[in-house]
Amino acid sequence: MAARERGTGLTRRAVVGGAALGVTGWLLHGTLGPQSASAEVPLPPGLPAGVTPYRAEYRNWSGEIRADQLWTCAPESPEQVVQLADWARASGWRLRAQGHRHTWAPLTVPDATPAAARVLLLDTTRHLTALTLVDGSTVRVRTGADMEALLAFLADRGLGIAACPAPGELTVGGVLAIGGHGTAVPPAGGQPLPGYGYGTVSNQVVRFTAVVLDPVTDRYVLRTFDRSEPDAAAFLVHLGRAFLTEVELRVGPDQRLRCLSRLDIPATELLAPAGSGGRTLASLVDGSGRVEVIWYAFTEQPWVKVWSAAPARPIAAREVREPYNYPFSDRIPEPVARLAGDILAGAWGSAPLLGQLQYLVTKIGLTGDLTDLLLGGGLLRDLLSGDALVHLLAGGLRSDLWGPSRTLLQYVRPSTLRVTANGYAVLARRADLQWVVGEFAAYYRSLLARYQARGEYPVNGGVEIRVTGLDDPAVVGVSGARAPLLSALRPRTDRPDWDTAVWLDVLTLPGTPGMHRFCRELEQYLLRTFDGTRAGLRVEWSKGWAYTDTAAWAEPELLDRTVPASLGEADGWAEAVSVLDRHDPARVFSNAFLDRLLR
């Protein structure tokens, strides 16, 4: 549909294809071969035989980081990566691993990296994708394989993991690099299954192969590290400062899960202050262990997902056999696209309406209940009518699902609403979980209200809250294994009572006026409140952090001192930087942002 809609100046095609609502079509947009007449940037000189370069635009998930027409290639084997590393070192170039680009932070390349930069992107998704079962508890996977392929491979063999990121289109290498996680802790009184960890996917690594410099031959080589080796802890979460070609992961017996979606608990009850009764987040976590909250902006009506182990299908549950079971979320409904288009065109004051609309879309898609729509009126009723309702009701109800773990743990497609997000992990005692979310919710609500009173709407997405355990190296069954040094979930030896992490993300459309200033105020509050006394704050590497009033990843105090100090306990930060530098002293696997951060 090419016609302009609602006077926004944007077509729906432009909205759905743009930075906020785009689909994966942009990923190889503008690809040019080395012989192209428009390839004005010189071909990288002296590339190893068999390497075919092409130029491609780089955009991250939200479209906020763009680098036009960088030279790119797709290594056909780990050995070819080694050849490229030797070439890059000798030629003064840098290599950046690239997967599906589902990230927000400048860990691959910083924004506006020029086409003439000596940067070669290595697309791992074409060839480095092999999966092999080692035994009944270990899988070997090359790092360009995506998480959807990995979980499907495991499920076919009766295996699984406790938790993982919700998107399936993430490479295993990318998930490991940033300490990707899901939402899971053992339920109160529950015992974890063998091989199940409740921290990062990185902590499941048994051994891995990395491209490192051999000090004897002075050339790069493939070296396999066992988890018991001291240096291994620096590579498990490396932020793109290393290149892992293959990993072995500890896995466990698959579980059938039930996912019950709830819309009946207001945020005032769910995220109430510590000591409150009722249906609090802490009580739900104690009951099942796996909970996620999506709290829509300018509403008190969150979508709460509660997963629980269920060997047999509950009578009320609908059986599913494949992932991505929320079509109203995976594919942007026309009314949401239309309203988001208005907002992006300058109708920023429509943010409260978008929050209400997203809640209604969720409720109708999950339950088929039209009560709120019929009792409401005006623009909401106009937006959700006719074909929109047919779309939302298609495929049946989704509030109570049951199936193999992967069908319920993966539920975000690339076609979902593309928002930007900040991200933090609050480490605390499990007994303080409700205190953490209660403090956060009260401040977030008041901050949003202050902005609204001034006629400002910096948030038009919502809040996501997840709860995980920390990285316990004992789950991999390797003597001497250590937790990943740069993981946000690395336990603190001086605070062994901190056994839980609460993940907090605030979502908004890219380019929303005031969003950086809002995120800065929120970040400074989190640093003051979770200052290491009762709880501690760490950043979520793949999201937004270190805010100034106008940008993320830019605040000098956080970059130079606060963030390193949050992981510097027992010299963990310094050790990680030293190990990564020793194995790649030329910093072939780095970029300008990482040079600043990891120094």
Residue 59, token pair as written in the block? 């955009």
As a whole number of angstroms, the distance between CA 104 and CA 106 comes to 7
Q: DSSP string spanning 128-141?
A: ---EEEEETTEEEE
DSSP 228: T
Helix, strand or coil for residue 124? coil
Which residues are catalytic, by number? 102, 292, 464, 466
As a whole number of angstroms, the distance between CA 455 and CA 458 comes to 10
As a whole number of angstroms, the distance between CA 282 and CA 291 comes to 10
Q: DSSP string spanning 439-490?
A: HHHHHHHHHHHHHHHTT-----SEEEEEEEE---GGGGT-TT----TT-TTP
From residue 398, how far is each of 184, 200, 208, 285 by CA, in Å? 21, 28, 39, 21
Side-chain half-sphere CA neighbours of 313 within 13 A: 12
From residue 194, how far is each of 4, 91, 160 by CA, in Å? 56, 47, 11
Q: Using an 8 Å Cβ cutoff, are 403 and 308 in contact?
A: no
Helix, strand or coil for residue 279? coil
DSSP 258: E
Helix, strand or coil for residue 386? coil
As a whole number of angstroms, the distance between CA 498 and CA 491 comes to 7
**Greatest CA separation found in the chain?**
75
Q: Using an 8 Å Cβ cutoff, are 456 and 489 in contact?
A: no
Angle at 173 between CA 214 and CA 43, to 5 degrees: 70
**Residue 509: CB partners within 8 Å, gap ≥ 6?**
20, 340, 343, 344, 419, 420, 460, 461
Residue reference for tokens 């070192």? 89
**Residue 295: CB partners within 8 Å, gap ≥ 6?**
267, 271, 302, 462, 463, 464, 465
**Residue 532: CB partners within 8 Å, gap ≥ 6?**
none
The backbone torsions φ and ψ at residue 55, rounded to the nearest 5 degrees and listed phi first, read -105, 140
As a whole number of angstroms, the distance between CA 352 and CA 346 comes to 14
Burial class (CB in 10 A: 0-12, 13-18, 19+), 592: middle
